[in-house]
Amino acid sequence: MRTLSHPDVQDIALDQVLSALADPIRRRIVTQLAGGHDDQACIAFDLPVTKSTSTHHFRVLREAGIISQRYRGTAILNCLRDEELAERFPGLLEAVLGAETR
Amino acid sequence: MRTLSHPDVQDIALDQVLSALADPIRRRIVTQLAGGHDDQACIAFDLPVTKSTSTHHFRVLREAGIISQRYRGTAILNCLRDEELAERFPGLLEAVLGAETR
DNA sequence: GGGTAAGTACGAAGAATGCCGTACTACGAG
DNA sequence: CTCGTAGTACGGCATTCTTCGTACTTACCC
C-alpha cells in the first residue's frame, strides 16, 4: 500500500495554510469537503483543471496540513483536518469558510 | 496632495486578503499595526528589505483592503482597517493575528 | 492475464511574485 | 531656494506557481 505523508498538528505552518487557502480552486475543494460528507475521492470534485493539476492542488492542501488523504483501491479519500486545524489555529478555518459564502 | 486608492468594504476580495496575509513580511506589518498604535509611518517598521520592496508590500496590503494609508507631509500614516475587515470577513483577521503568536 | 479507472511523476511553458538598484517626486526645515 | 527625508516608478533578475501533456503505476474487475 502506498502511503502519503502528512504534517503533524504542531508542524502545520501558518504561511503554508494561508497560501494554500489563497487559491480559489483549493478553497473550492475545502468548501466542498466542509459542506458535504468527508471521504470524497478526488474524482468527486468537479474542478476546471486537468487531472494532473488537480493532483497538484490536493497535494498542496495535504502538505499544508489542511486535508488528509488515504488510499482506498485506486482512489483517494479526502478529509478535512478541521479539528486539528481548530486546535492549531483556532477560528481560522471557520473564518475562511464563512467568508467564502459571501 | 497625492491620493491613494483604497477598495470599498464590499469590494475587499478574499483571494487578495489571503494572499496578502500569506507573506510573513506583510503579516509582520499587520501584527505591528494591530499590537501597537495606529498611524505608524512606513519608516517605523523595521523590515528586512529595502525601501522599494517595503513600498511594494505596503501597497499590496492597501490594495487588498487590509490597511489604509494617508499622507502627512512626506510620510504615510498606516492604519489597520480592522473594523471594516471584521464587517466583511468576520473573525478572519482575529484568527490570523491569533495564529501568528504561536 | 487484460482492460479500465484513479491518481502520480516529470518536464515544460508562461505568469506571477519578491527583491533589488537607480532615478525620481513631494513635502518640510532652515 | 536648497537640502534632506519619505516614499514612488520603473526596469530587471531570480524564483516560484499554475497549468498542461504524456507516460507511468496501482488496484480492481472480468
Question: pLDDT (tens digit, 9 = 90+) per residue, B33-81?
Answer: 998 766 777 667 889 999 999 999 999 999 999 999 999 988 999 999 9
pTM: 0.92
Covered bases, chain C (protein CB within 7 Å): 5-11, 17-23, 26-28
Average pLDDT, chain A: 92
Mutation for A interface: B10, B11, B14, B97, most A CBs within 10 A: B14
Considering only CB atoms, which residues of chain A are within 8 Å of chain B? 14-15, 18-19, 21-22, 24, 27, 88-92, 94-96, 98-100, 102
Q: pLDDT at position B67, please?
A: 96
Q: pLDDT at position B38, please?
A: 64
Q: Which residues pair with residue B78 across a beta bridge?
A: B40, B69
Q: pLDDT below 50 — which residues of chain A?
A: none
Cβ A93 vs Cβ A82: under 8 Å: yes
C-beta atoms surrounding B47 within 10 Å:
17
Q: pLDDT at position A42, please?
A: 62
- How long is the CA B101 to C1' D25 vector, in angstroms? 43
